[in-house]
Amino acid sequence: MSLQEQVISEFQERYDGAPAYVVRAPGRVNLIGEHTDYNDGFVMPMAIDRATWIALSPRNDGQVKLYSMDFNETVSFSLGHFENNDSGWLEYVKGMAWVLKAAGYRLNGWNGVIAGDVPVAAGLSSSAAVELATARAFAAISDVPWQPAVIARLAQRAENEWVGVSCGIMDQMISAAGVEGTALLIDCRSLETTNAPLPPDTAVVVLDTATRRGLVDSAYNERRSQCEEAARFFGVAALRDVSLADFEARAGELDDLTRRRARHVITENDRTLAAAEAMKAGDAVTLGKLMNASHTSLRDDFEVSSDALNSMVNCAQGHAGCFGARMTGAGFGGCAVALVAVDQVDDFVAHVEQCYQQATDLQPNIYVCQPTNGAELLRG
């Protein structure tokens, strides 16, 4: 049974009757453009075929009652008044309700069943999937117009201010605006999106190191301030506004650490735009090289990789069917992503599994991913 069928049948058992709506919002993998979103730069994520699903029907008493199949628990809260109790996944739901209310929308309550298959804490944005599925649910039954970029900004605010994680806009934006069959080039300043289909006969393979990120929040915040400091030095709003030529002209005046942080962001923006061109031309070889260069820059200049990620990327890059591979997401653990010739995927997966296990004694999780739509209303 698909997850969609499972949430529907669970709903029927619990609430006596079919759900009025079923919504879905995906996780994501980023092909290139890492740690650029909070510098107003460019990213190239795709929404993946792993998602959060909610089956729901409206209630008329302003309550939200939700059963989670993954955690086997029922929770409820009143839209009239609710607080942050640090209660895990539910805070993403409440945070979304809070931010929509704060934006002036009148929300209706609902009964729901929620389930997901985005691996948690792997760097595939399971939290954005819950936020956007919640937003899509509220939009289905309340007076909230579905405008992906507007909703993505609100979801980012929920994560920043309610959950307390300072993230950029990428994860929420791709979970809101993804398009089936294509990655998206996103300008994180204007939120303009451009379809960027994968080169012909290639597959995107997500390689989970089975290591989880420790201290990632503090390291992430530290990187953000270093980038802001570099932007101040160049007298611009964000590093997005510094060209490679401007950077090189004045790089000698920066201390070594700030110089390397800025160099990563500035070159990564260029690589992401070059990747969009390569994808337009269907050029897997160039795209793969750009991904490899991105990893080197994240490892050496931005210093957000880890031994496990480096081993995984080395294993992937060592296979003849691999065009390129890099760490993906915030870093320090979680997943790498590889672009692989479609007819060599099986052999690639077997090779990486064995190579990574030998190098680290860890068992990786490997997913071949398809680009899917962003948050959507599937029934109702």
The residues assigned a catalytic role are 171
Backbone angles phi, psi at 10, to 5 degrees: -65, -40
Residue 183: burial class (beta carbons within 10 Å; 0-12, 13-18, 19+) = buried
Rounded to the nearest 5 percent, the helix, strand and coil shares of the chain are: 45, 25, 30
Nearest distance in Å: CB 88, ligand GLA: 18
Backbone angles phi, psi at 103, to 5 degrees: -80, 0
Question: Which residue, 178 or 321, is less far from ligand GLA as judged by CB?
Answer: 178
Q: How far apart are CA 317 and CA 3, in angstroms?
A: 33
Q: Are 114 and 7 in contact (CB under 8 A)?
A: yes
Question: Which residue, 136 or 213, is less far from ligand GLA as judged by CB?
Answer: 213
Nearest distance in Å: CB 165, ligand GLA: 7
Strand partners, 55: 22, 113
Residue numbers of the site for ligand GLA (CB under 6 A)?
34-35, 37-38, 167-168, 170-171, 329-330
Strand partners, 205: 338, 368
Nearest distance in Å: CB 228, ligand GLA: 14
Nearest distance in Å: CB 31, ligand GLA: 11
Centroid of chain to Cα 152: 12
Q: How far apart are CA 197 and CA 202, in angstroms?
A: 10
Nearest distance in Å: CB 142, ligand GLA: 26
SS3 238: coil
Question: Which residue, 113 or 265, is less far from ligand GLA as judged by CB?
Answer: 265
Question: Which residue, 21 or 38, is less far from ligand GLA as judged by CB?
Answer: 38
